[in-house]
């Protein structure tokens, strides 16, 4: 089943290279991807998919398309086009860092290091956190961290490995610690975002942006936690991060509906019309594989996580994928921002990316581009 899902996905990506014509997919509306000129937080996922397809097929056409996206990311960096947010990590890990990992291209390495420096500038010394969104010191957004940032930290850990400058790692560790302390709750659920006093770092309180309520658990946020803490453990070997990833994964799996694919928020009232977020389950499917690789081989919970992974992946492939359909996306029923009425039931490019990463990992043991192999 995994091979045919991969083959189908690869042919869709191949078709999309022409369809997208050098522009970048974000989320779809009624099945058609909205394209942009590399000015959103999601643009790295398309680049990452092209690199994954190249690694799997060794087909030069994927490599050429992927390299073009990296050139675009170079232009974006020079022009500083919409880079005043922490998702610099998503953007440059899956584009230029991927090129460095695969091709050992020195200019791609340099671009990635510059991106890491830009991310570092979002560190708020007074407050003691990486500011998620908006211009640094912004009156409204200046005090906010969000759980998604965990996937941006590998850029900093990697930069420390490359340069030997411990500042990158110190910042990443302080951010991961703060995320664990303030965004992960005692019952292993999570806040999406948390506010601090910008000057003193005094905690103010948890809040949501894309979830159901401030105190609810937005499933994609929980998914970023599962994968993100596993990655922080990969780089630091701090057992607290491994434990946190496991706790969050357990919560995620225990709260899934019968078909093993998440609704958009664990606290949203469930009826026949409640939206799913297949992208959250795809992120967790990739994250669980990272977790399983890092866990002790004798850990009694291995079988539980393994079963959760296979149940989710089987359902994604059988009930949510576009196998056999002439579609642009790979994974149906993702939700970007349900309350904001932004693509509540469509393709999400990150859902497609993590679905492909998870499939390739299952089938070939290959990985994404969050760390050097
Ligand atoms: N990182 C933004 C999102 O997951 O929608």
Task: Quick: pLDDT tens for 19-56.
Answer: 999 999 999 999 999 999 999 999 999 999 999 999 99
Catalytic residue among 8, 40, 87, 188: 87
For the chain, list the domains and their CATH numbers: 2-364 (1.50.10.10)
Q: What is the DSSP letter of 372?
A: -
Catalytic residue among 148, 188, 265, 277: 148
Averaged confidence pLDDT in the chain: 97
Q: Are strands 144-146 and 193-196 parallel, antiparallel or unpaired?
A: antiparallel
Say how many Å lie between the CA of residue 130 and the centre of ligand 1.
16
CB–CB of 270/262 below 8 Å?
no
Q: Give the C-alpha separation, 233 to 81, whole Å.
A: 32
Q: What is the pLDDT of residue 324?
A: 96
Pocket test for ligand 1, best of 179, 343, 350 (most atoms within 8 A of CB): 350
For the CA atoms of 35, 343, 62, 96, the dihedral, rounded to the nearest 10 degrees, stands at: 80
Q: What is the pLDDT of residue 135?
A: 96
Task: Quick: pLDDT tens for 111-160.
Answer: 999 999 999 999 999 999 999 999 999 999 999 999 999 999 999 999 99
Q: Give the C-alpha separation, 177 to 78, whole Å.
A: 32
For residue 343, name the pLDDT band (cuts at 50, 70, 90): confident
Alpha helices in the chain (DSSP H): 2-20, 43-57, 60-79, 88-93, 96-103, 106-120, 153-163, 166-183, 219-236, 239-254, 278-294, 302-315, 349-364
pLDDT at 344 over 90: no
Task: Quick: pLDDT tens for 168-208.
Answer: 999 999 999 999 999 999 999 999 999 999 999 999 999 99
Q: What is the pLDDT of residue 352?
A: 98
- Average pLDDT estimate for 78-92: 97
Nearest atom of ligand 1 to the alpha carbon of 221: 4
Nearest atom of ligand 1 to the alpha carbon of 336: 5
Say how many Å lie between the CA of residue 204 and the centre of ligand 1.
22
pLDDT at 333 over 90: yes
Known catalytic residue: 346? no
Pocket test for ligand 1, best of 45, 147, 210 (most atoms within 8 A of CB): 210
Task: Quick: pLDDT tens for 257-294.
Answer: 999 999 999 999 999 999 999 999 999 999 999 999 99
Residue 67 pairs with which residues in a beta bridge?
none
Please give the C-alpha separations between residue 54 and each of 71, 74, 230, 268, 335, in angstroms, as whole numbers: 17, 20, 26, 39, 28
Q: Give the C-alpha separation, 352 to 13, whole Å.
A: 10
Residues in the ligand 1 pocket, defined by CB under 6 Å? 148, 210, 220
Say how many Å lie between the CA of residue 153 and the centre of ligand 1.
15
Q: Give the C-alpha separation, 137 to 125, whole Å.
A: 11
Supply the residue whose CA is at minimum distance from atom 2 of ligand 1: 148
Pocket test for ligand 1, best of 45, 220, 343 (most atoms within 8 A of CB): 220
Q: What is the pLDDT of residue 239?
A: 98
Nearest atom of ligand 1 to the alpha carbon of 210: 5
Known catalytic residue: 265? no
Nearest atom of ligand 1 to the alpha carbon of 220: 4
Say how many Å lie between the CA of residue 297 and the centre of ligand 1.
32
Say how many Å lie between the CA of residue 358 and the centre of ligand 1.
18
Supply the residue whose CA is at minimum distance from atom 5 of ligand 1: 336
């Amino acid at each position: 089943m995994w091979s045919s899902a991969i083959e189908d996905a690869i042919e869709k990506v191949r078709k999309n290279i022409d369809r997208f014509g050098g522009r970048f997919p974000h989320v779809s509306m009624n099945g058609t991807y909205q394209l942009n000129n590399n000015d959103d937080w999601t643009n790295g996922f398309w680049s990452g998919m092209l690199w994954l397809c190249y690694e799997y097929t060794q087909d030069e056409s994927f490599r050429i398309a992927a390299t073009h996206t990296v050139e675009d990311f170079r232009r974006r960096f020079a022009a500083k086009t919409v880079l005043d947010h922490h998702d610099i990590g998503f953007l440059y890990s899956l584009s230029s860092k991927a090129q460095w990992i695969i091709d050992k291209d020195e200019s791609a390495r340099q671009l990635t290091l510059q991106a890491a420096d830009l991310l570092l500038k979002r560190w708020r010394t007074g407050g003691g956190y990486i500011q998620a969104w908006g211009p640094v010191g912004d009156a409204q957004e200046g005090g906010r961290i969000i759980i998604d940032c965990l996937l941006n930290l590998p850029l900093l850990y990697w930069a420390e490995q490359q340069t030997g400058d411990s500042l990158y790692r110190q910042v990443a560790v302080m951010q991961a610690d703060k995320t664990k302390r303030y965004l992960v709750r005692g019952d292993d659920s999570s806040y999406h975002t948390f506010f601090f006093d910008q000057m003193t770092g005094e905690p103010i309180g948890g809040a949501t942006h894309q979830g159901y309520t401030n105190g609810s658990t937005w499933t994609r946020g929980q998914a970023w936690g599962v994968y993100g803490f596993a990655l922080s453990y990969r780089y630091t070997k701090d057992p607290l991060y491994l434990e946190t990833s496991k706790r969050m994964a357990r919560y995620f799996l225990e709260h899934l509906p019968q078909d093993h694919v998440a609704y958009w928020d664990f606290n949203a009232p469930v009826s026949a019309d409640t939206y799913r977020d297949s992208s959250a389950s795809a992120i967790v499917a990739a994250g669980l594989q990272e977790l399983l690789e890092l866990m002790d081989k004798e850990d009694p919970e291995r079988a539980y996580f393994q079963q959760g992974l296979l149940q989710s992946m089987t359902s994604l492939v059988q009930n949510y994928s576009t196998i056999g359909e002439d579609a642009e996306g790979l994974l149906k029923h993702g939700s970007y921002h349900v309350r904001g009425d932004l693509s509540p039931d469509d393709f999400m490019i990150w859902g497609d990316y993590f679905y492909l990463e998870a499939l390739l990992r299952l089938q070939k043991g290959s990985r994404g581009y969050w760390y050097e192999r």
